[in-house]
């Protein structure tokens, strides 16, 4: 998640937090820091997630019925390091 925060005179006035699912949460704060309003902002781009090779290897090991089931995931990690 990422976000933006806007301060007025050192006090948080607004925040917008990207939820990572194509929406964000925009919150406006009162001067005392309490929440004045919150709204969902739709229509944001969703970032593509790059598969983690180590996670893929772990999944291959969990689902393996033989060593041959693990070899493609292990090979992907070895060849990725050569780039």
- The 10s digit of each residue's pLDDT in 14-66 is 999 998 888 999 999 999 999 999 999 998 887 676 777 787 888 888 888 88
The reported pLDDT for the residue numbered 49 is 67
The reported pLDDT for the residue numbered 78 is 79
Distance (Å) of CA 76 to CA 9, 52, 54, 82:
52, 11, 9, 10
Higher pLDDT, 75 or 7: 7
pLDDT band, residue 83 (cuts 50/70/90) = very low
β-bridge partners, 48:
none
Contact assessment for residue 28 and residue 37, using Cβ atoms and an 8 Å cutoff: yes
* Residue located via tokens 């992907």: 76
């Amino acid at each position: 998640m990422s976000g933006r925060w806007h301060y007025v005179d050192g006090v948080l006035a607004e925040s917008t937090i990207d939820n990572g699912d194509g929406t964000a949460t925009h919150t406006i704060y009162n001067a005392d820091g309490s929440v004045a309003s919150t709204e969902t902002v739709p229509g944001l781009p969703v970032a593509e997630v790059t598969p983690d090779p180590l996670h893929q290897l772990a999944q291959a090991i969990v689902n393996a019925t033989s060593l041959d089931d693990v070899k493609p995931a292990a090979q992907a990690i070895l060849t990725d390091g050569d780039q």
